[in-house]
Amino acid sequence: MADTTPPQAPQQDRPVYVVGGGPGGLSVAAALRAQGVRAVVLEKSDRVGASWRRHYDRLRLHTTRRLSALPGLAIPRSFGRWVSRDNVARYLEKYAEFHQLEIVTGVEVSRVQRAADGPGWLLHATGGRELTGSAVVIATGYNHTPHLPDWPGRDTYTGELLHASAYREPRPYEGKDVLVVGVGNTGAEIAVDLIEGGAARVRLAVRTAPHIVRRSTAGWPAQRTGILCRRLPVSLVDRLAGPIAKVSVPDLSAHGLPRPDTGLYSRVNEGAIPVQDVGLIDAVRKGRVEPVAAVESFEDGKVVLADGTRICPDAVIAATGYRRALEPLLGDLGVLDAKGSPLVRGARTPKSAPGLYFTGFTNPISGMLREMARDAEKIAKAISKTLPPAPRGR
């Protein structure tokens, strides 16, 4: 068995607090431990990987097992190439155990501010706790708080309306007419799940046509292409992606899903990750999933679409994304942009807030877990350099 004993720790009066017990937080804690730095993970739920357990049953990673492992522990081969939701949760539990991480559950951090007695940070947490750390890593997640658009008439709509975060499996919708709003990866996959699970009709509301890519082509995963392209000029990737898409993905314009007008990597830089095909292409071609115009409002018990069409689905599932929800935590520190995302991430720390780090707040085409793993080791090295060295002879 591998030796997991950390190296001799430098002098450290205060631990590094890691806020969030998902893959980002756990990987940073493990990397800090490997550097001999004491890290304490604060997780608001009762166990690690809580956000993964809340996803829909069908979910599998769109990145490969080999390229999704966190530092210091491979994902078991038995989990397969595309790891399921439940196995991701199992892996995170094993990861915390294997690295002997110091984790405190049931503690939610409500505010982070500078320590009054010098360098460091003061965290206000559940039960009136006040915790002082030498540094803080915010790893609360890209998909933190479900976002439901404030459509006109939404509050008075009496039909079934739920965010995709509340969707688990298709059985409650057997024989029903369902409208899925949003054609990101979540919306596309839920639409396919519904129609395969017995829904009578599934429509998919689309505001902006997405780029669709095959998850794997002749054994080559789309993730590896994303890794190769990530450092290339945006215009070059856009030019290369166009012809490839025409060869690998059929034109669905006649079915209501035209090819995008903007380039693939340009869209990525705007925050729109390509949709990996897990059945959407065939479902649209066969008319089983029907793309329709975007939702504009709710009126008289009906859903009004952007083209003026009014429809009466039995249920509306909004795959409309999430918010980072960082403003209450540290909104007065000047470290967030206009959209509420961190101004800097990874090993960089804000000039106005040294010792404050962020991980897991991007969704890169090279794979979120892969990038969190890389960031974890960079953050750990950066933090270890800021701590005083251990005295000689220890």
Matching residue, tokens 């000039």: 351
Quick one: 306 and 332 in the same domain?
A: no
Quick one: 266 and 341 in the same domain?
A: no
State how far the Cα of 146 lies from the Cα of 77, in Å rounded to an integer: 33
Burial of 116 (0-12, 13-18, 19+ CB in 10 A): exposed
Q: Note the pLDDT tens digit of each residue in 121-173.
A: 999 999 999 999 999 999 998 888 999 999 999 999 999 999 999 999 999 99
Q: What is the pLDDT at residue 12?
A: 62
Q: Note the pLDDT tens digit of each residue in 23-76.
A: 999 999 999 999 999 999 999 999 999 989 999 999 999 999 999 999 999 999
Q: How confident is the model at residue 16 (pLDDT cuts 50, 70, 90)?
A: very high
Quick one: 279 and 360 in the same domain?
A: no
Q: What is the pLDDT at residue 208?
A: 93
Average pLDDT over residues 170-181: 98
392 domain-assigned: no
Q: What is the pLDDT at residue 5?
A: 46
State how far the Cα of 192 lies from the Cα of 281, in Å rounded to an integer: 10
Average pLDDT over residues 301-324: 96
In residues, how long is the chain? 394
Quick one: 114 and 202 in the same domain?
A: no
Quick one: 288 and 328 in the same domain?
A: no
State how far the Cα of 273 lies from the Cα of 260, in Å rounded to an integer: 13
Mapped onto helix, strand or coil, the DSSP state of residue 268 is: helix
Domain ranges, residue 308:
147-318
Quick one: 32 and 57 in the same domain?
A: yes
Q: How confident is the model at residue 389 (pLDDT cuts 50, 70, 90)?
A: low
Average pLDDT over residues 2-12: 47
Average pLDDT over residues 222-240: 91
**Domain with 65 in it: what CATH number?**
3.50.50.60
Quick one: 188 and 109 in the same domain?
A: no
10 domain-assigned: no
Q: What is the pLDDT at residue 117?
A: 80
Average pLDDT over residues 301-308: 97
Q: Note the pLDDT tens digit of each residue in 340-378.
A: 999 999 999 999 999 999 999 988 889 999 999 999 999
Q: Are 268 and 274 in contact (CB under 8 A)?
A: yes
Mapped onto helix, strand or coil, the DSSP state of residue 26 is: helix
Quick one: 231 and 356 in the same domain?
A: no
Q: What does pLDDT average to over the chain? A: 92
Domain end among 280, 303, 318: 318
The answer on pLDDT for 251 being more than 50 is yes
Q: What is the pLDDT at residue 237?
A: 92
Burial of 241 (0-12, 13-18, 19+ CB in 10 A): buried
Q: How confident is the model at residue 175 (pLDDT cuts 50, 70, 90)?
A: very high
Q: How confident is the model at residue 10 (pLDDT cuts 50, 70, 90)?
A: very low
State how far the Cα of 311 lies from the Cα of 179, in Å rounded to an integer: 9
Q: What is the pLDDT at residue 6?
A: 47
Q: What is the pLDDT at residue 1?
A: 37
2 domain-assigned: no
Quick one: 186 and 105 in the same domain?
A: no
Q: Are 183 and 284 in contact (CB under 8 A)?
A: no
- The interaxial angle of helices 85-98 and 23-34, nearest 10 deg, is 20
3 domain-assigned: no
- Percent of the chain residues past pLDDT 90, beyond the cut: 84
- Report DSSP state, residue 73: B
Tell me how many domains the chain contains: 2
Q: Note the pLDDT tens digit of each residue in 68-123.
A: 999 999 999 999 999 999 999 999 999 999 999 999 999 999 999 999 887 899 99
